[in-house]
Amino acid sequence: MSDFRLPVRVYIEDTDAGGIVYYVNYLKYMERARSEWLRAQGFTQRELFEAGIQLVVHRLECRYAKPARLDDGLEVGAEVLSHGRCRLQFGQVVTRRGEPLCEARVDIACIDADRLKPTPWPPALAAALARQPSAQSQDVQPPV
């Protein structure tokens, strides 16, 4: 699904009593992959926050196919599907040896940290988004 991949190991803290990954931890893995994708573009969450920008999940659709288990080596993908003036949609998948375990579409909104209202991407990040090969630009603002 994606050019950006983050390797993740399943630890005991990620699992329930049966050694199966607790469902919400897939979302944590995906959050890490998006943060590392951002870092690969030359930005950090801290830098954006210090500039008065927050990236927040606006909407999430997730489908669980198969369980991951204790000690599994996983890969978490993050692919930009589309972006607008202040929003971004990722397609994400968690795989084990290439087999999809969990897939999601995650809509991210760029907001002003003080007003908690949508705000345009900082120019450098907007330029990075424009360079994404699979991303389609859509000038739509999310209702935040």
Stated as kind and residue range, the H or E segment containing 23 is: helix 23-40
CB burial of 48-61 (b: ≥16 within 10 Å; e: otherwise) equals: beeeebbbeebeee
Q: How far apart are CA 31 and CA 10, in angstroms?
A: 15
Tokens of 113: 């940290």
Note whether 89 and 83 are within 8 A (CB). Answer: yes
Q: What string of DSSP letters covers 84-130?
A: -SSEEEEEEEEEETTEEEEEEEEEEEEEETTTTEE-PPPHHHHHHHH
Residue of 3, 14, 16, 139 with catalytic role: 16
Q: How far apart are CA 117 and CA 143, in angstroms?
A: 9
In the residue annotation, 112 being an active-site residue is answered as: no
Catalytic center residues: 16
